[in-house]
Amino acid sequence: MKSRCWFLFLACSIMVLPSFGQSLTTSWRGPDGNGIYPGKQLLKKWPEAGPQLSWTFDNLGIGYSSPAIVGNQIFLTGMEGKTGYVYALSKDGKLLWKSPYGEEFSTSYPGSRSSPSVTEELLYILSGQGRLVCMHTVSGKIRWSRDLFRDFDGRNIQWGITETVVVDGDRVYCTPGGKQNNLIALNRFEGTLIWSSPGKGDISAHCTPALIQLPTRKLLVTMTANNILGVDADNGKLLWSHPQTNRYSIHANTPIYHQGAVYCFSGYGKGGVKLDLNADGSKITKAWYNKTLNSRIGGAVLVDGYIYGSGDSNREWQCIDWKTGDQKYTTREIGNGVIIYADGLQYWYSDRGELALVKAHPDRFEIISQTRVTLGSGQHWAHPVIGDGHLYVRHGNTLIAYKIS
């Protein structure tokens, strides 16, 4: 089971944070959803023992989510017993409040999956059992909730719903995976349905969608069990689809958008495809397909015309040319895992607990500094987050704040 599941799905749902400063809205994998954080004046080399430890919080329960940071608060999820909780922490790691949001996924790889999405005074969390909850950020009081299975003919999947919902304007977007209500948009203040799309009728696939602003429309791009979907975010109309399948119908990585094209990639040997969009996003043309970068949950980053990430079955860190899809070079210096980027450097967090600061050159990787995460428990699957001069790493029941500025 472990070889089949390396927490395949978590990459997508462990949503990450906002940017530095007093941002009022969070998004999955940074402010643009692409794993790139806007921090400046960060350390170019760590001390020999690793970056300085500012603080830890050791009572998060069981889970794999990453922090969402808004203003002076840090929000995470965890499971105690079979109940999922949102934890609100101060910037110095003190518990402000915790509030239950419902039953969590407690069977295979038990624990909370999704991370909170936060906009101003409201927080949104989707449980592994399909309950979408809106809370107040000051108190944790529930404002509204919806059951995606009961209310929208959704269906749970092998390792539990893991998507982190996307919030934009007055809407929250998510993927019940039902035959009729495949993707939906709800009013974020009341939880009422704005639109529903049947998509292709696939079950969901742990994918947090990419919301792309084009000149004439907002485009929602996500992956379900067998297809990549392009949906008009205004009305839910399915504009196009492209087949994307693998052995377990797991597509946990959020698509990457750049200059009129989207890159969608999956694990279990599948790899990724680059799809060129026409001007209004209503049509696609396949540009290339690459099988080698088959990340299961670790995401990827696009920097200066190259895609960086680690494989799944081949377990290599790779560099892929954005224009051609050609693999430029690989390394196995540390285990495969999650990648994020800030201030000219990459941050790698392997499934073996290795944490590395990396410079990517046009022809090679250069590991500048390296340490190991020894605090916490369980699998090293949560996506790190950078904010306010700190690198936040969640490992099981522990959140670790490293000072990197």
- The one-digit pLDDT tens for each residue of the chain (405 residues) are 344 443 434 444 444 333 333 356 788 899 999 999 998 999 999 999 999 999 999 999 999 999 999 989 999 999 999 999 999 999 999 999 999 999 999 999 999 999 999 998 999 999 999 999 999 999 999 999 999 999 999 999 989 999 999 999 999 999 999 999 999 999 999 999 999 999 999 999 999 999 999 999 999 999 999 999 999 999 999 999 999 999 999 999 999 999 999 999 999 999 999 999 999 999 999 999 999 999 999 999 999 999 999 999 889 999 999 999 999 999 999 999 999 999 999 999 999 999 999 999 889 999 999 999 999 999 999 999 999 999 999 999 999 999 999
Q: How many CB atoms lie within 10 A of CB 6?
A: 21
Closest CA to 333 of 317, 313, 347, 357: 317
- pLDDT of 25 reads 77
From the number of C-beta atoms within 10 Å of its C-beta (0-12, 13-18, 19+), residue 213 rates as exposed
From the number of C-beta atoms within 10 Å of its C-beta (0-12, 13-18, 19+), residue 144 rates as middle
* Helix H or strand E segment including 11: helix 10-13
Domains of the chain in start order, with CATH, are 2-403 (2.130.10.10)
Q: Are 24 and 119 in contact (CB under 8 A)?
A: yes
* Helix H or strand E segment including 100: strand 95-103
How far is C-alpha 100 from the geometric centre of its chain's CA atoms?
22
- pLDDT of 16 reads 39
- pTM of the prediction? 0.93
User: Amino acid identity of 385?
Assistant: V
From the number of C-beta atoms within 10 Å of its C-beta (0-12, 13-18, 19+), residue 2 rates as exposed
Sheet strands (E) in 306-397:
306-310, 317-321, 327-331, 337-342, 345-350, 354-361, 364-372, 385-387, 390-395
Q: How is residue 91 written in tokens? A: 């910037």
Give the three-class secondary structure for 148.
Answer: helix
Q: What is the arrangement of strands in the sheet containing 68-70, beginning at the earlier edge strand?
A: 68-70, 73-80, 83-90, 95-103
215 phi-psi bin (left φ>0, alpha ψ -120 to 50, beta other): alpha
State how far the alpha carbon of 250 is from the alpha carbons of 169, 215, 227, in Å: 29, 31, 11
Question: Distance between CA atoms of 144 and 206, rounded to whole angstroms?
Answer: 23
Q: How is residue 298 written in tokens? A: 């670790």
C-alpha neighbours within 13 Å on the C-beta side of residue 102: 20
Closest CA to 383 of 303, 316, 310, 306: 310
- pLDDT of 24 reads 66
- Helix runs in 148-208, H state only: 148-151
* Helix H or strand E segment including 136: strand 131-136
Q: What is the DSSP letter of 192?
A: -
Question: Distance between CA atoms of 253 and 38, rounded to whole angstroms?
Answer: 21
- Helix runs in 212-275, H state only: none
Question: Distance between CA atoms of 386 and 30, rounded to whole angstroms?
Answer: 8
From the number of C-beta atoms within 10 Å of its C-beta (0-12, 13-18, 19+), residue 304 rates as exposed
Buried b (16+ CB within 10 A) or exposed e, 276-292: ebeeebbebeebbebeb
Question: Distance between CA atoms of 336 and 205, rounded to whole angstroms?
Answer: 21
Q: How is residue 265 written in tokens? A: 């990639």
- pLDDT of 39 reads 87
Q: Which residues are 182's β-sheet partners?
A: none
